Copies of this chain bind each other. A is one copy, B any other.
Amino acid sequence: MTFDEAKKAIEGQLKAKPLGVEEIPLLESSNRVLAENITASLDIPPFNRSAVDGYAVRAEDTFGAEENRPVLLKVSGTVNIGELPETTVTKGQAAEIVTGAPIPEGADAVVMIEHTSRNGDEVTVFGAAARDENIMKAGADIKKGKTILRKGQLLGSREIGVLAALGKAKARVYAVPRIAVLSTGPEITEPGMKLPPGKIYDINAYSLSTAVLESGGRPVYLGVFPDNLDELRKALRRALVSSDMVVTSGGVSVGPKDIVPKTLSMLGEPGIILSGIAIKPGKPTTVASVAGKLVFSLPGHPTSALLTFQLFVRPLIQVMSGRKAEKPIEVKAFASMRMFPAKGRRTFIMVKLRQEKPKGLIAEPIPTALSGAITTLAKADGFVEIAEDVQFIDAGEPVTVQLFKTESLLQGN
């Protein structure tokens, strides 16, 4: 199956859409996705407010006022912030007011305190105020009834501020998909344990759990399972009940140990929907669908596991969590050397980027140390994707690099 066919088959199975909606405290809604349009239930501000400290007046009472021809008004009272005005303003009157306090009845402008002089219960106004001057009108920021945030928006400090302004202490957001992660292989030992001879520490359950988190999912770490068909089947059954998707790695090589695909075919209908993808690395990737949930069996090699996760699983988690399927961040660079694709397979070559004057950004393939290496990935800034029908990319040719680690590059490290 080609790369494009595989992507289509996977997305088709899921009919990718958000899993569900939940209401959570607004303070915990950072980095969650809004599940409803937000229509303002009140005007913001809810009333006409003074934008300055000064005196609330009837604008017409100040017409013609100038430095050397001031107007004298009688102070009718004081308007405090946070309270309904206890005073009104009628012809010839002014009310003392502070920034943010409601405009008293009768007033339609505020004169800044700097343009006044107070003397007992009288105030001298040295400048004319236009109607509405220094008043922030009710609804000037947000008009009641207006749709101010939209379904699908990611909640950050500014969006959460808008929700708070409307008095919301909770937010309706999309549920976070729970993704079970497990590793298989008789040679795999959990980190933190003593390493027996002939074994290696598990990498994938850790790196994939973190990748789940980075994609907007909640990882359910299940740890390491030996290549025991019965145990594995039980574990996968449990995982399918307690989570929304399952990601396994290992046990899919072409050797005598391809136990995970065997297990996948015994889990339920429709079962395996694709077995092997014409990509490099990641060829043995197998996907099953069981009762509407997907089970991914990714290769055991850490680089292959994380790459196939990025290619196939991450976009699904994003959609399931209500996010837009993101476009990868790309940079243009020049190939440092000739790059060959694997014959007939979509090939992904891990590269490191470096600046070289005067040429610009150079993409240098990372030697893969027989593809088992975790350091390949740790050193890579991203990868170059080579189409199935390309013979090779020559040294010096321009290439597009899809970035892994956006941050370091954006921060110029």
Contacts and interface: CB of A to CB of B under 8 A. Distances in A.
Interface core residue of A85, A170, A209, A214 (most chain B CB under 10 Å): A209
Contacts of A261: none
Contacts of A203: 161-162, 164-165
A163 B159 CA distance: 36
Copies in the complex: 2
A35 interface: no
Interface of A: 26-27, 30, 42, 44-47, 49, 51, 53, 80-85, 98-102, 134, 136, 140-142, 148-149, 154-170, 185-193, 195, 197-211, 213-214, 219, 221, 253-257, 300, 302, 306, 324, 326-327, 329, 369-378, 404-407, 410-413
Contact of A257 (B98, B168, B188, B413): B98
Nearest to A85: B198
Contacts of A156: 210, 214, 405
B199 A82 contact: yes
A307 to B, nearest CB: 11
A411 B82 contact: no
Given A326-B411, A411-B324, A210 B30 contact: yes
Given A82-B187, A101-B187, A201-B166, A206 B27 contact: yes
A374 B207 contact: no
A210 B404 contact: no
A161 B377 contact: yes
B378 A162 contact: yes
Nearest to A98: B255
A242 to B, nearest CB: 17
A201 B167 contact: yes
B46 A200 contact: yes
Contacts of A45: 200, 372
B407 A198 contact: no
A374 B45 CA distance: 10
A126 B198 CA distance: 29
A21 to B, nearest CB: 19
A213 to B, nearest CB: 5
Contacts of A376: 141
Nearest to A153: B408
A50 B192 CA distance: 25
B27 A158 contact: no
Given A99-B253, A158-B378, 16 more contacts: A30-B210, A49-B372, A82-B198, A84-B198, A102-B198, A136-B372, A141-B375, A148-B375, A154-B407, A155-B210, A158-B207, A161-B378, A164-B207, A167-B195, A169-B192, A327-B411
